[in-house]
Structure 1
Amino acid sequence: MEEQKKQAKVNLTAMTEFVLLGFSDIPNSQMLLFVIFFFVYLAIVFGNGIIVLIIILDQSLQTPMYFFLGNFSFLEICYVSVTLPRMLKNLWTQRRSISLFACATQMSFVLTLGNVECLLLTAMAYDRYVAICNPLHYPMVMNQKFCVQLVAACWFTGITTEIGQTSQIFSLSFCKSNQINHFFCDIPPMLKLACGNTFMNEMLVFTVAVVFVMVPFLLILGSYSKIISTILKVPSATGRSKAFSTCFSHIIVVVLFFGSAAITYLRPKSKKSSRADKFFSLFYTIVTPMFNPIIYTLRNKDVTMALKKLLP
């Protein structure tokens, strides 16, 4: 009888409040993790913020490629700000509760920003494709109006899709537990808490993942196959090196982001584990935003020169 009352209480709590377990399985390292993630957060915000600032201030960087890079860096700041501050709060206070509304809001933002990032990386690949494969048409095709429309389309598509998907996930009843074995409200751990048959929900998640992860990745792959084919035809070794250099940074970010996202959302349910989900989620929510400034500043002479002009 007592056990039934306890279970009923859990079920009632699950409807209004969840507990983000995060990294509670390593209790002796909570303060160490707080320090690490705190400095990681500062590095991400500062590094990506610097890229946005120099692109706005330096006239030599007012080109489509850097317009997309500035938007991408701003997106990375937003992305990491949705997950890391709450994780830092949980690590510091050891109070891991999150309301149903806050959980739904966090999921909506994470999924929206993730989808926008997939589409924006695809737009950046298209920009490189036109620049290298059709250089004579580049100024006409990638004009300012088209670039703004492309970025606006990425945001509009990501927002409208994920508001619907989040609503669909949170229309489920959660009765198994109110403990989310993750450091933010993500779809795979939430579905594990849902009552009844979630097959249709899982199929919808898979479909959206294919549309926003697999399709963009294949488009990027197709763009770079054309780009590499064109570069190899360039007679000058210096020209080939310069062309490869402008694309290499983007390729690294694409592999890091799409690789971890695909493993998280597209691998079979039977092969999913909470520990693996958390590990791969760290890549697309934290590692990619952290390495984005390093990748683009160390390998990009234009950004390095602009940074030197900005610094006293």
Structure 2
Amino acid sequence: MARLRDDNLFLRRGDSVTAGKRARPVLLLLVFAAAGLMLLSRLDHGMIGDVRWRAQSWLTPVLQGAMIPAEPVREIGRTISTQVDLRNELARLGQENQKLESWKWRARQLEAKVAELEALAKVVPEQKLDFVTSRVIAESNGAFVRSVTIDAGRARGVKEGYPVINADGLVGRIVDASQSVARVLLATDLNSRIPVQIGPNAVRGILAGDNGPRPKLIYIPDGANIAIGDDVATSGTGGLFPAGLRLGTVAGNLSDPRVQLRADLDRLDYVSVLFYADPFRDLTDDLANRRTAGEANNVASPGLAPIGKPK
């Protein structure tokens, strides 16, 4: 009986050894197949891409069917994660709301004081700007141009020179306008020049685009007190842009200061065009119109001499 058990044990060991020998070629074949698939995945060939796409198309129903049983579990996990995030977000918003309430009270006091001082000094009120919101329908981001096209033109009051903003800050200005569309020169374009003020000391400078993601600051006075992280906004110098439109913050290094723009100019969807006319341009246009009208009157009445000149 004991001998029979030993013979059975020997047979089982022999079967396992034989099975192991038979499995070796299969294992080697699988290893070579895996290595071949890895090499094929690195090759950028049209035929391989087509085969891969067809395989994905065939396997899509199978994968979708396999995801159906796991969908309730995933939904429960998303719900738990959302609840935890909402609790943390509510706590943060509660603290922020308390700070904002205190700042709101302080802002009302300062607003009342400023109104009293303006009334005493008889300050001219600031111009209220109208605007129109439009959608970006095309982008031109080449090696030498950074501009977008919007679906609002002269029919909606858009003119050349008007500044363009979005919810994050200044985007650029209108450079071409037709009846139904307009082209916006972005702040990062090589031809863009924007007068700015920097930091709490309102240091004046020029924001110059160079077709890169972060335009540079030029013409900054020597010894100017600026620091990394200072806010950058339009200064209103020259009348091209109204003062106070935010642009971004100082970045890079102070030997070559750059500006990290708040607006993501690579993902523009909707923008607003401010109806801000250059006051100096309006003044020169008015003077030119008056001069033209005066010359026309002189031509119509040759017997009358121009004012201030003898006959």
Structure holding more strand per residue: 2
Larger Rg: 2
Higher relative contact order (CA 8 A, sep 6+): 1
TM > 0.5 fold call: no
Structure holding more helix per residue: 1
